């Protein structure tokens, strides 16, 4: 078999066989297919798409490209979640202890910041002392002991995704439905859980900008995922403005702590409870969504989810005092305000621009391997629907990288659209795919 033939086949819209797809993933991971040929293939997929059969073969080959997490020695129902990436999306830090408090096993493998979106691992590591580079043995032991883990996705699990993602990131081929399906599902299929809920983000701050696109992706994820042997459901959720008030690592830890303590913000709490409720429905523990949500809400209100979070932080070497007294979390030496250029209602607030600004301030990476500043980011003081007066502060910039602060300020100013009419506000949960 020759890679050039497979590229030409895809370029001409002829479906590849399962054997051809397995061959190309296998050879690429073995570094026998060069990046330039894979880049050409990815671009052909971007324009031509994949058939259902190709998507299944592609996803399965990626899932089998490396090790799998084996949680069979851990008693209990194993659950997992994945978000297609957003701004202020610190749901994992809340949902993992919440599901642990509900009696489920959740050993979540997560990634780092990517583009304008944050990464759970960077956030969790903003808690002083937290270790996320756990070995498979450590993951299993901790899951047995306390039921919950947040660990970094190692290169041995679905390595095809890591290689392909890096290439997609620099070749304009990230927003391709079959490539996203393969990427997300391969990690989940290799991840050891039985029941998985997916949060497909939709809007300005997401890879899928429109509802039809996001729904199509969510449906494909659930369909292909279920076909490949695990049970999936998905929510499509709004990502036009950031979730909560914070974009940044320690800032989002603070935000997660406030949800776990029952102090909101409501949008973040709502999405977390809705995703958790999907898992209770998938497991069969509940058949009514409202009851499932109430059950989880009670675990927040009783302090059980918070207690599990503290247990999780301690188990991974974190300083428990820093989460009990969040003022002890890393904080920026310099904070600057961005003011409203005019009076009116906040009509739009671009999640993408806020995410980019947080990244420039130091919360994200400009180049691979760069360290992030745990304290840097954007704290919002107004969101869509709020009335603001001229020169009122709209946001606080927690400055990590000084040299880019003016650019960050410009982005945050541009992120706010202020007008005279009160804006229409859409739903947070846009669709459920079961
Ligand atoms: N999230 C992923 O894990 N992969 C993608 O391709 C896009 C979002």
pLDDT in tens, 75-123: 999 999 999 989 999 999 999 999 999 999 999 999 888 778 889 999 9
Residue 168 catalytic?
yes
Residue 70 lies in a domain: no
Could you tell me which of 327, 333, 329 has the C-alpha nearest to residue 405? 333
User: Tokens 């047995």 appear where?
Assistant: 144
Q: What's residue 174's pLDDT?
A: 87
Last residue of a domain, one of 324, 348, 374: 324
Tokens in use for 250? 């320690």
DSSP string, 399-426: ESSGGGHHHHHHHHHHHEEEESSPPP--
40 and 170 both lie in a single domain: no
- Does 28 sit behind a cis peptide bond, omega within 30 degrees of 0 on the bond before it? no
Residue 84 lies in a domain: yes
Indicate the DSSP class of residue 244: S
What mean pLDDT comes out for the span 154-174?
A: 91
302 and 356 both lie in a single domain: no
Q: How far away, in angstroms, is 137 Cα from ligand 1 center?
A: 26
Lay out the sheet containing 416-419: strands in order across: 387-388, 344-349, 416-419
CB-side exposure of 280: number of CA atoms within 13 Å?
26
CATH of residue 352:
3.90.1170.30
How far apart are alpha carbons 405 and 124 in whole angstroms?
Answer: 24
CATH of residue 26:
1.20.970.10
Residue 424 lies in a domain: no
318 and 351 both lie in a single domain: no
Please name the residue whose Cα sits nearest to atom 5 of ligand 1: 180
Please name the residue whose Cα sits nearest to atom 8 of ligand 1: 84
What mean pLDDT comes out for the span 289-298?
A: 98
Q: What's residue 368's pLDDT?
A: 65
CB-side exposure of 376: number of CA atoms within 13 Å?
24
How far apart are alpha carbons 270 and 342 in whole angstroms?
Answer: 31
22 and 165 both lie in a single domain: no
What mean pLDDT comes out for the span 10-33?
A: 98
What is the atom index within ligand 1 of the atom nearest the CA of 180?
6
CATH of residue 93:
3.40.1030.10
**Which of 85, 110, 112, 239 has most ligand 1 atoms within 8 Å of CB, for mutation?**
85
Say if strands 79-83 and 195-202 run parallel, antiparallel, or are unpaired. Answer: parallel
How far apart are alpha carbons 91 and 106 in whole angstroms?
Answer: 13
Residue 54 lies in a domain: no
347 and 305 both lie in a single domain: no
Residues 352-361: tens digit of each pLDDT? 999 999 999 9
Residue 199 catalytic?
no
Phi and psi of 151, rounded to 5°? -130, 160
Residues 209-239: tens digit of each pLDDT? 999 999 999 999 999 999 999 999 999 999 9
For residue 207 and ligand 1, the question of a CB distance below 6 A is answered with yes
Could you tell me which of 343, 370, 346, 345 has the C-alpha nearest to residue 359? 370
Contact, 152 vs 111, CB < 8 A? yes
Contact, 347 vs 423, CB < 8 A? yes
145 and 247 both lie in a single domain: yes
319 and 335 both lie in a single domain: no
The whole-chain average pLDDT of the chain stands at 96
> What size, in residues, is the chain?
434
Q: What's residue 225's pLDDT?
A: 97
Domain carrying residue 123: 79-324
What mean pLDDT comes out for the span 321-350?
A: 98
16 and 83 both lie in a single domain: no
Tally the domains of the chain.
3
* pLDDT band with cut points at 50, 70 and 90 for residue 409: very high
Residue 432 lies in a domain: no
Phi and psi of 398, rounded to 5°? -95, 105
Please name the residue whose Cα sits nearest to atom 6 of ligand 1: 180
What mean pLDDT comes out for the span 302-324?
A: 98
Residues 365-381: tens digit of each pLDDT? 877 678 899 999 999 99
Q: What's residue 37's pLDDT?
A: 98
The predicted model scores a pTM of 0.95
Residue 73: pLDDT over 70: yes
Task: Kindly name the residue from 48, 116, 187, 297 that is annotated as catalytic.
Answer: 187
257 and 115 both lie in a single domain: yes
Last residue of a domain, one of 257, 291, 324: 324
DSSP string, 298-320: HHHHTTHHHHHHHHHHHHTT--H
Q: Where are the beta strands (DSSP E) in 305-392?
A: 334-339, 344-349, 377-380, 387-388
Task: Kindly name the residue from 48, 82, 116, 297 that is annotated as catalytic.
Answer: 82
31 and 133 both lie in a single domain: no
Residue 426 lies in a domain: no
For residue 180 and ligand 1, the question of a CB distance below 6 A is answered with yes
Cβ-Cβ contacts under 8 Å for 212 (sequence gap 6 or more): none
């Amino acid at each position: 078999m020759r890679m050039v033939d497979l590229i030409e086949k895809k370029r001409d819209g002829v479906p590849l066989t399962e054997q051809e797809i397995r061959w190309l993933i296998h050879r690429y991971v073995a570094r026998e297919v060069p990046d330039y040929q894979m880049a050409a293939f990815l671009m052909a997929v971007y324009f031509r798409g994949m058939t259902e059969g190709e998507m299944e073969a592609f996803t399965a080959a990626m899932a089998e490209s490396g090790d799998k997490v084996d949680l069979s020695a851990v008693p209990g129902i194993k659950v997992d979640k994945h978000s297609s990436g957003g701004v202020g999306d610190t749901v994992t830090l809340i949902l993992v202890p919440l599901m642990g408090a509900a009696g489920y096993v959740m050993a979540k493998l997560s990634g780092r910041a990517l583009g304008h979106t944050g990464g759970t691992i960077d956030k969790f590591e903003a808690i002083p002392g937290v270790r996320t580079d756990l070995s498979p043995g450590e993951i299993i032991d901790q899951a047995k002991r306390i039921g919950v883990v947040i660990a970094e996705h190692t290169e041995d699990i679905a390595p095809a995704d890591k290689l392909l993602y890096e290439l997609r990131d620099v070749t304009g081929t990230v927003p391709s439905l079959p490539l996203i399906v393969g990427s997300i599902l391969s990690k989940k299929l290799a991840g050891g859980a039985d029941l998985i809920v997916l949060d497909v983000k939709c809007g300005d701050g997401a890879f899928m900008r429109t509802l039809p696109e996001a729904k199509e992706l969510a449906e494909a994820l659930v369909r292909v995922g279920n076909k490949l042997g695990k049970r999936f459901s998905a929510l499509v959720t709004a990502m036009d403005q950031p979730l909560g008030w914070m974009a940044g690592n320690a800032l989002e830890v603070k935000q997660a702590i406030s949800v776990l303590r029952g102090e909101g913000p409501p949008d973040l709490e709502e999405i977390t409870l809705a995703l958790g409720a999907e898992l209770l429905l998938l497991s069969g523990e509940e058949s009514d969504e409202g009851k499932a949500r109430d059950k989880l809400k009670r675990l927040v209100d009783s302090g059980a989810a918070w207690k599990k979070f503290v247990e999780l932080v301690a188990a991974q070497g974190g300083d428990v005092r820093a989460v009990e007294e969040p003022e002890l979390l890393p904080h920026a030496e310099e904070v600057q305000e961005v003011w409203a250029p005019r009076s009116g209602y906040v009509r739009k607030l671009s999640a993408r621009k806020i995410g980019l600004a947080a990244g420039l301030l130091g919360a994200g990476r400009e180049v691979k391997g760069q360290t992030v500043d745990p304290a840097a980011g954007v704290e919002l003081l107004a969101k869509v629907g709020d009335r603001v007066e001229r020169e009122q502060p709209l946001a606080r910039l927690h400055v990590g990288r000084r040299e880019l602060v003016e650019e960050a300020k410009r982005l945050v100013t541009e992120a706010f659209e202020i007008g005279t009419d009160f804006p229409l506000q859409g739903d947070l949960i846009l669709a459920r795919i079961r």
